[in-house]
Amino acid sequence: MSKGTTISTRNVVTAATRIVVKVGSSSISGENSWQIAPLVLALAAAHRRGVEIVLVSSGAIATGMPFLELESRPDDLATQQAAAAVGQNVLVHRYQAALDPYGIVAGQVLLTANDMEDLTHRENAQRAMERLLQLRILPIVNENDTVATHEIRFGDNDRLAALVARLIGAQVLVLLSDVDALYTKPPQEPGAEVIPYVGIDDELAGVEIGATTVNGVGTGGAVTKVSAARHAAEAGIAVVLTSTDLVADALDGASVGTYFEPARKN
């Protein structure tokens, strides 16, 4: 692991013409729903300078919970699907309302794991997103929770974001969460240090990444983000892992969060 990043590594971000940004449920739902506005501001700034942006957004179930008078994430699949059906509608409406002042139109893309595994479905999804980007529409991608089952779910949208980045040939993937970077151990523990750079061959030896966690509104954790980052980096996609409040800095190429070096493309 390098202790620092060079300016040239972040130049990959500023030079990118196609970027996928992933945001988690806890960052844009409940008491944190206010973060949609600054997130959209950052996306709009990149969009204005010509970058093709795809947003992978969790949050359908979390957003729908209050409308179903649920105080915690439901355990049964049917109620999760019901909450997602309500929440996805509200979530996209909130995004579009935030995008309106910038003259940007959102396009909703809902995918299941089967869509990415089936060749025909995958090609259809790729074709649709390519056309949306050509039309300067901002695709908002989420797992289709209303029809997904426990057996075929992506499990978390970090993996979905990496798959989407590979599908559309993005140069950069930005993974956003509540934590500003990858640490050598859980950041709340004494002695935890930021890991600013992960080389393509770095094994992260001695790093306590931790297990996947499930909070009150979503699923995920550092381990899922590292796994997704590795998956994207191996395909030649640079990855920045940081917090939602630092998204503007990340898209501007600032040295925030953790940068995963992409593999060289042959």
pLDDT in tens, 56-81: 999 999 999 999 999 888 888 889 88
Query: Which positions ≥6 away from 262 have C-beta within 8 Å?
Result: 12, 200, 232, 233, 235, 236, 237, 238, 239
DSSP-assigned letter for residue 211: -
- Give the pLDDT confidence of 15-57 residue by residue, as tens digits: 999 999 999 988 999 899 999 999 999 999 999 999 999 999 9
Specify if 54 maps to a domain: yes
State yes or no: 202 annotated in a binding site.
Answer: no
pLDDT reported for residue 153? 59
- Give the pLDDT confidence of 197-252 residue by residue, as tens digits: 999 888 776 676 654 443 444 444 678 889 999 999 999 999 999 999 999 999 99
pLDDT at 86 over 70: yes
State yes or no: 58 annotated in a binding site.
Answer: yes
- Give the pLDDT confidence of 106-149 residue by residue, as tens digits: 999 999 888 888 899 999 999 999 999 999 999 999 988 777 66
How far is Cα 53 from Cα 43, in angstroms, rounded to an integer? 7
| Range with the largest mean pLDDT of 10-19, 97-106, 181-190, 223-232 | 97-106
pLDDT reported for residue 2? 45
Specify if 40 maps to a domain: yes
CATH number, domain containing residue 208: 3.40.1160.10
**What angle do helix axes 157-168 and 222-234 make, rounded to 10 degrees?**
10
State yes or no: 177 annotated in a binding site.
Answer: yes
Specify if 266 maps to a domain: no
- Domain assignment of residue 220, given as a range: 7-260
Specify if 116 maps to a domain: yes
- Give the pLDDT confidence of 151-162 residue by residue, as tens digits: 445 656 899 999
pLDDT reported for residue 119? 94
CA distances to 105, 110, 210 from 169, in Å: 22, 19, 30
State yes or no: 145 annotated in a binding site.
Answer: yes
Domain count, the chain: 1
User: Which residue did the predictor score with more confidence, 178 or 108?
Assistant: 108
Specify if 265 maps to a domain: no
Specify if 119 maps to a domain: yes
Q: What are phi and psi of 246, to 5 degrees?
A: -105, 15
pLDDT reported for residue 4? 45
Q: Taking the CB of residue 253, how many other CB atoms lie within 10 A of it?
A: 18
Specify if 28 maps to a domain: yes
Specify if 143 maps to a domain: yes
State yes or no: 76 annotated in a binding site.
Answer: no
First vs last C-alpha separation in the chain? 24
